[in-house]
Structure 1
Amino acid sequence: MSTYSSNGTLTHKSGTLRYTLHQTASETLLKGGIQAAVVCPDGVDPNEWIAVHTIDFYNDIIMIYNSVKEECTVYSCPVMSAGKVYEFLWTDKYKYRKPTRLPAHTYIEYLVSWVLGLLQDDSLFPTEPNVPFPRDYLDKVKNIFRRILRVYEHIYYSHISLLRHLSLLDQFQFSLCHFIFFADQFDLVTSQNFRPLQDFLNQFAPNLRCFWNSKNPHF
């Protein structure tokens, strides 16, 4: 079980398996680096490992976006995009059944609310011991990762200067690298979704499958 915090993030409950896995992942990240940290430990259910990281990446993107959201206005970011080539349209089950163009800040608000609802759904992310994950678990997690990636991509193209000014660029790049390596490790994001980050991949992750597939879509 995770606890909702006032800043919009989720906290793993102390004493639970996910809290322990979160601690393990954090320690490995500090001591062994990103590539070691994304590997699921022996004896751990990969679905649990993915669940912990889904929550952690949600927290990361909340904290990063909170740093730039005052600059992300309807005037500066009238559409949710990654540069001039890639635009993202919003759909959901309730208000926007057809793909709809929204200002970036509105899109991200809907996205955050949508992800939070899924993360707090015990039928998707079971919190009781020995309760199995649903059959469509990975499909839904992939959708979460795909949409979280869009926030990273929007920030990369539209708010990188502010992050640099706030001395948060290194933190952003580290978080994005961690996200990319984890998504690549478990095939959670397609190469097509990574195309807006071609330059970033070229610089920081040239050997990953997602990099080569994004360069060569027929690879």
Structure 2
Amino acid sequence: HYGSVHVVCNNAGVGARGTMWELGVNDWEFVLRVNLWGVIHGVRVFAPHLVAQDEGHIVNTGSMAGLVSVSGTGPYNVSKHGVVTLSETLYGELQDAGSNVGVSVLCPGIIRTNLRNSERNRPEHLRDLDPEAVKERTQNTPGFSDTVRLQALPAEWAAECVFEGIKANRFYILTHDDHEGQIPRRHDAIQNDGNPAVVRSTVFAGGPIER
């Protein structure tokens, strides 16, 4: 009815907070099913159609937590790192195929969404703890304070960044300044046999990136 698909945005996200030794298998399954498998399914369904018509653009939602690793959000980090490398791989494969289909990975900082209330969407069979226990574990995990949440940018800002990124055929689409230099710091540690820096969510609450 609507003709061909030209822009595909694989955008979904849930989280589970806690330390690596507190989180259960169900926490991992809940997050990976949505954040990573959602993107995998979206790419598998739509990429063949876009390749066949030799035009279009795929935008996969990663996160700054897909570029650096944040304490207290293990499953989220793993899922978003997965989305970034999936997107990079897809980009390379489309280039090898000589395709005109574009790919971008959106890596936002803290955006005003309902991500912090992910538990409302958790399937019953993936619940290990009662709601109060989850709330207590979340509050005791270093990370998103009320101050940080108040500094979050509106979702409309992220949308504008995406539109501009698609028009410019830009692969990495960021919404915030990397004001703590976390990305180059990570790369420097890798290149120089260093240890990873401890990263907390507060580093993602900087100002909007200049466009």
Answer whether TM exceeds 0.5 for this pair.
no
Q: Please state which structure has a larger fraction of its residues in helix.
A: 1
Highest relative contact order (Cα 8 Å, sep 6+), 1 or 2? Answer: 2
Structure 2 length normalisation: TM-score? 0.24
Structure 1 length normalisation: TM-score? 0.23
